[in-house]
Amino acid sequence: MQEPKIAPSLLAADFARLGEQVLEVAKAGADRLHMDIMDGMFVPNISFGPLVLQSVSKVTTLPLETHLMIHEPDRYLEDFAKAGASSLIVHAEGAIHLHRTLERIRSLGLKVGVAINPATPVSVLEPIIDMTDLVLIMTVNPGFGGQKFLERTISKIADVRKRIDQLGLNTELEVDGGIDPKTAPHAVAAGANVLVAGSAVFGSPHGIFRAVEMLKRPVGGSQ
Ligand code: DX5
Ligand code: ZN
């Protein structure tokens, strides 16, 4: 099985030492950074906006994958593009004119991602999956880090993997929420090839370096 790509979520980082933490995950072998944008409307929590993205983009060359958990994301696509996002992931539940939103992201020259919540069926992806570079299956309900992985999302991961392969797409399949060295192998076995992890990286008792390694190679990386 191919080694998954690792996208540490900065939501779990120490914001007072953000620059240092970014350098640390980069050195540990992170493939990209996952930026969780929350507006207090689409999800109950508020995180950070384009200014933080812009600062982070100055200290790293890692791609900034930007997960927009915001109501009517169209209003902010350009702002995040200007701030240095490499890809924009919008929720199928939050983008009413999803097809148009995806076209706009593409026209900004960014990679196109679509996320679905645990209670959203994979069928919503069918009309637009061929427009995407990445599909994100939420493995918790979005809004907070440190939640428990929802086992029932495994079958959705497998369904989307099957569809991507059937269509011969290069679309990446990402999982987000409750990913740690125990849950990661299940998500990868079901077909995920990009793992987002917040607490399992920045809150790991083994330290950031080892934490990234344990997610990439969970078999050899027993605790
Ligand atoms: C949740 C966010 C996640 C979060 C993951 O709404 O989308 O990216 O940071 O955190 P962990 O890995 O701690 O579940
Ligand atoms: Zn996220």
Check residue 221 and give its pLDDT.
Answer: 42
Domain that holds residue 101: 5-216
Is 15 within a domain? yes
Angle of CA points 65, 202, 146, to nearest 5°: 85
Does the CB atom of residue 198 touch ligand 1 within 6 A?
yes
Q: What is the pLDDT of residue 219?
A: 59
* Structure token pair of residue 25: 């995950």
Residue 38 lies in a domain: yes
Q: Residue 77 falls within a domain, yes or no? A: yes
- In angstroms, the CA 153 to CA 175 distance is 9
Q: How far is the CA of 219 from the centre of ligand 2 (A)?
A: 25
* CA of 12 relative to ligand 1 center, distance in Å: 8
For residue 159, what pLDDT is reported?
Answer: 98
Number of domains making up the chain: 1
Q: 25 lies in a domain? A: yes
Name 5's bridge partners: 194
Percent of the chain topping pLDDT 70: 97
CA-to-CA distance for 98 and 80, rounded, in angstroms? Answer: 18
Q: Could you tell me where the DSSP H helices lie in the chain?
A: 18-28, 50-59, 77-83, 98-107, 154-167, 184-190, 199-202, 208-216
pTM: 0.97
Q: How far is CA 167 from the centre of its chain?
A: 22
Mutate to test the pocket of ligand 1, among 11, 45, 114 (most ligand atoms within 8 A of CB): 11
Q: How far does residue 145's CA lie from ligand 1's centre (Å)?
A: 4
58 CB-near residues (< 8 Å, 6+ apart) = none
Say what the pLDDT of residue 220 is: 47
DSSP state for residue 148 in the 8-state scheme? P
Identify whether 223 is part of a domain.
no
Residue 9 Cβ < 6 Å to ligand 1: yes
Would the CB of 8 count as within 6 Å of ligand 1? no
Within a domain: 17: yes
Q: Residue 9 Cα, ligand 2 centroid: separation in angstroms?
A: 7
Ion ligand 2: protein residues whose beta carbon lies under 5 Å: 36, 67, 176
Q: Is 31 in a helix, a strand, or coil?
A: coil
Question: Domain containing 31 — which CATH number?
Answer: 3.20.20.70
Determine, yes or no, domain membership for 221: no
Which has the closest alpha carbon to 103: 118, 116, 114, 115?
114
* Residue-by-residue pLDDT tens, the chain, 223 positions: 789 999 999 999 999 999 999 999 999 999 999 999 999 999 999 999 999 999 999 999 999 999 999 999 999 999 999 999 999 999 999 999 999 999 999 999 999 999 999 999 999 999 999 999 999 999 999 999 999 999 999 999 999 999 999 999 999 999 999 999 999 999 999 999 999 999 999 999 999 999 999 999 875 444 3
Q: Whose CA is nearest to atom 7 of ligand 1?
A: 142
In a domain, 222, yes or no: no
